[in-house]
């Protein structure tokens, strides 16, 4: 799952928290309410645009859904249409996002998501690490990053790095 999808789904979860749909009383059903009770995407053209927006190849999306369904249900049943594939992808990725947070309450979930969505500049200001390591897309936008003091560990895992002092003095564009 790329960062643009993760960010979109995190914001979707926050909307459901703010609307009172996800509560402490229905924690066992958070995934159902957020990603299964209603269609996430309606209309063929909207689903196609969603795939393009997130740089997902149609066949790659179908393969992700197919593999997930075969692993979890024993067979592939999703209709091959843009809406069906995108809605199942959102179901799969929504599960991944929600279960990545080990929380007891909706307040904890909200707090962790808000922290994850805080701006890059805010994260740079708060860190006590010496370096930020990052990869960028073709437009120069940071698509993934980590903060660390361990230069040797991350220098080959990321395309670029900056000292935190330099990062504090320049404007950096971050997706997600």
Residues of the domain holding 125: 120-169
Question: Does residue 134 share a domain with residue 68?
Answer: no
Burial class (CB in 10 A: 0-12, 13-18, 19+), 97: buried
Note the pLDDT of residue 127: 83
Tens-place pLDDT, residues 111-158: 999 888 876 777 777 788 889 988 887 777 777 888 899 988 888 889
Tens-place pLDDT, residues 57-91: 999 999 999 999 999 999 999 999 999 999 999 99
Give the CB-side neighbour count of residue 45, counting CA atoms within 13 A: 0
Note the pLDDT of residue 22: 97
Question: Does residue 14 share a domain with residue 58?
Answer: yes
Note the pLDDT of residue 176: 44
Question: Does residue 155 share a domain with residue 111?
Answer: no
Q: 144 with 136: CB under 8 angstroms? A: no
Question: Does residue 72 share a domain with residue 14?
Answer: yes
Question: Does residue 165 share a domain with residue 89?
Answer: no
pTM value is: 0.69
Average model confidence (pLDDT) for the chain? 89
Q: How confident is the model at residue 48 (pLDDT cuts 50, 70, 90)?
A: very high
Note the pLDDT of residue 171: 56
Task: Report how many domains make up the chain.
Answer: 2
Question: Does residue 126 share a domain with residue 99?
Answer: no
Question: Does residue 42 share a domain with residue 31?
Answer: yes
Question: Does residue 14 share a domain with residue 53?
Answer: yes
Q: Which of 157, 113, 112 is nearest to 132 (CA)?
A: 157
Question: Does residue 113 share a domain with residue 124?
Answer: no
Last residue of a domain, one of 100, 117, 134: 117
Q: What percent of the chain has pLDDT over 90?
A: 61
Question: Does residue 11 share a domain with residue 82?
Answer: yes
Give a yes or no: residue 10 inside a domain: yes
Average pLDDT over residues 29-38: 96
Give a yes or no: residue 156 inside a domain: yes
Question: Does residue 126 share a domain with residue 105?
Answer: no
């Amino acid at each position: 799952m790329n960062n643009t999808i993760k960010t979109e789904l995190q914001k979707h979860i926050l909307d459901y928290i703010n609307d009172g749909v996800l509560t402490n009383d229905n924690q066992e059903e958070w995934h159902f309410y957020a990603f299964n009770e209603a269609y996430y995407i309606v209309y063929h053209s909207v689903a196609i645009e969603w795939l393009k927006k997130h740089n997902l190849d149609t066949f790659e999306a179908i393969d992700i859904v197919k593999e997930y369904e075969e692993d979890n249900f024993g067979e592939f049943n999703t209709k091959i249409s843009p809406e069906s594939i995108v809605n199942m992808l959102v179901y799969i990725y929504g599960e991944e996002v929600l279960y990545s947070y080990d929380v007891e309450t909706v307040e904890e979930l909200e707090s962790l998501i808000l922290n994850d969505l805080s701006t890059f500049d805010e994260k740079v200001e708060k860190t006590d690490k010496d370096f930020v390591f990052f990869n960028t897309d073709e437009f120069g936008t940071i698509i993934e990053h980590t903060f660390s003091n361990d230069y040797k560990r991350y220098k080959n895992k990321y395309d670029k790095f900056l000292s935190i002092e330099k990062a504090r003095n320049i404007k950096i564009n971050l997706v997600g």
